[in-house]
A and B are shown apart, each in its own frame.
Chain A
Amino acid sequence: MTPLLSLKNVSKTFGSKNHTVHAVHDVSFDVFPNECLAVVGESGSGKTTLANMILGVFGQSAGDIVFDGQALPTKRSLDHRRAIQMVQQNPLSSLNPKRSVGSSVRLGLDVYGIGAKSERWALVERALEDVGLSPEFRKRPPATLSGGQRQRVAIARALACQSRLVVLDEPTSALDVLVQARVLRLLNDLRQEKGLSYVFITHDLSVVRNVADRVAVFKEGQLIECEKTSDIFEAPQQDYTRQLIGAVPVVADEEIQLRNTLTQGEKI
């Protein structure tokens, strides 16, 4: 299968002559069609820098980002921007408080010129319906919505412009556990239904275990392990990965058992 997105020896350095920071160093991986790749690592490991390069917020210092067979330039065409969308962590700050929910979702359609002008409100309502919100939500400001509903709007906004790859940057860490479960299910259903690919950035490994097909573990800007989810959790190769799994607070007895076998009963 040909990958939808491949990163080839991508690096990013910040800073001046005297002081440089290697935020991402020589990273290569593929994301296949309809796949959910999780990117995990602690703060400062380069997860968000990576997301920004995939989205084209800034260019890479070295290496190539290839999307659907074409190397992406730093300055992206409208089509490329449309195909790669993102959902941010905190929907309250990522949605414009002065725009109604509908006009936030519609903005993308206007920019990318999707559908005839007269049809666009219908498209917006369909996008809201896809994420389980009734058409009446169109006119409401984000402030009147609950956290889960707001995140649904952010997802609708990303999907309304017929994107193919969605970068999810901690999409559920601001949500309560019951709401999180519903949003994760929604994301999974939408992926199957629309054949989307996800780059799922998170530090919550218990979420990763249940939503991702493959996991890429980052440490200090480097990709240290990238394997199938079951392999990562059952037989992690790197000490750092073992440490990350060992630090997850868990609720069930069988989870404690798994954690103990990985860390050999050592306290983190």
Chain B
Amino acid sequence: MNDVLNIRDLTLKFRGYTGVTDVLHGVSLNIQAGEKVALVGESGSGKSVTARIVQGLLQDLKSAQIKGDLFFEGHNLNRLSAHEWHALRGTSMSMIFQDPTSSLNPVFTIGTQFTEVLRRPDPKLSKVEAAARAGELLNSVSIHDHDRVLNAFPFQLSGGMNQRVVIAMALANQPSLLIADEPGTALDVTVQAQTLNLMHDLVEQSGTAVLFISHNLGVVREFADRIYVIYRGRIVETGPTRAVFKNPGHAYTKALLAAVPRITGGGIPDIPDTDDAFFEPMVVHNGGQA
């Protein structure tokens, strides 16, 4: 099959002073080319560490014990050297973080940082060419005064503007996989809605596959084609977004959906923080892949 990313039975343990903590208990997921897949769960459920492992950012950590297979575009990532990992990041696999302003370097202008991104696959790219290419990319995220933005430092731009810049940078080298870790959570709702719509349209045009990590079910519903719900390091439910939201099968997914306050009203339901039923086996919907 045409999988961009395939994770099989991933386990992660952290060794600490007080003993070993199990973080992931056999997570399997796959993303096909051009597909937008969301990984949803609460804090501490293992969403972000999964993204970090996919990028090879946890493998060097001595206290982390990682098992399981990672395939990216058919290649087994476990066999890559540190150098090869580095070549992969920012070119065929890129990332968008939660807070756009703090993920940009405050001491360099946007232009300098953009040039650095564009020189990853093409180190000989001239300054003029880079600026022209950056201008085109900024156009695609509806920023039209390129010169002002490219000469500005990140703290001189608004959060929404920085988020657009970050999206443009992440898609600059036409990655086959984009990992978005809680994008826009630090932004206002209106700005978040605008930038997510923009990102949605852009990845759709370029056919980039997206691993979208979030705890916000509303955002996920609007963005993703397929979702995985993760609870305490286990995938508890997976399927096409529509099916899961319409007919949640697992006790945890049901609780999660019921706990979201509705703008149509109805009060806040009484739901336990945790329940034995949350540890029941995974529910797979038609069209979802485990």
Contacts and interface: CB of A to CB of B under 8 A. Distances in A.
Contacts of A207: 261
A250 B222 CA distance: 8
Interface in B232-269: 245, 255-257, 259-269
Interface centre among A43, A250, A251, A252 (most CB of B within 10 A): A251
A203 B188 contact: yes
Contacts of A200: none
A247 B265 contact: no
A181 B257 contact: no
Contacts of B190: 42, 243-244, 247, 268
B18 to A, nearest CB: 12
B259 A180 contact: yes
Given A251-B245, A252-B264, A254-B264, A181 B259 contact: yes
B226 interface: no
B256 A178 contact: yes
Interface in B194-235: 194, 197, 215-219, 221-222
Contacts of B122: none
User: Taking chain A's interface residues, is the majority helix, strand, or loop, or is none over half, making it mixed?
Assistant: helix
A251 B260 contact: yes
Given A178-B42, A268-B197, A210 B262 contact: yes
A161 B221 CA distance: 43
B218 A258 contact: no
Given A182-B271, A185-B268, A209 B259 contact: no
Contacts of A28: none
Contact of A249 (B222, B264, B265, B268): B222
Interface string B9-35: 000000000000000000000000000
Contacts of A158: none
Given A181-B269, A251-B260, A176 B255 contact: no
A178 B268 contact: no
A259 interface: yes
B42 A185 contact: no
Interface string B150-191: 000000000100000000000000000000000000001111
20 contacts: A176-B43, A178-B259, A178-B271, A181-B269, A181-B270, A182-B271, A182-B273, A188-B268, A205-B189, A210-B261, A210-B265, A233-B265, A247-B189, A249-B189, A250-B218, A250-B263, A251-B217, A252-B264, A254-B264, A259-B263
Contacts of B113: none
Given A177-B215, A177-B217, A177-B259, A210 B267 contact: yes
A247 B193 CA distance: 6
Contacts of A176: 42-43, 215
A258 B221 CA distance: 16
B192 interface: yes
A176 B188 CA distance: 18
Contacts of B222: 249
Interface in A171-195: 176-182, 184-185, 188
A245 B193 CA distance: 11
B189 A248 contact: yes
Interface in A221-255: 230, 233, 243-252, 254-255
A184 to B, nearest CB: 5
A147 interface: yes
Nearest to A173: B185
A249 B216 contact: yes
Given A244-B189, A249-B193, A177 B256 contact: yes
Contacts of A19: none
A190 B205 CA distance: 51
A252 B257 CA distance: 9
B268 A250 contact: no
Contacts of A204: 189, 261
Nearest to B216: A249
A211 interface: yes
A258 B42 contact: no
Contact of A209 (B219, B257, B265, B270): B265
A267 interface: yes
Given A181-B259, A181-B269, A254-B264, 14 more contacts: A176-B215, A177-B260, A188-B268, A206-B218, A207-B261, A211-B268, A247-B190, A248-B189, A248-B218, A248-B263, A249-B221, A250-B263, A254-B262, A268-B194
A203 B189 contact: yes
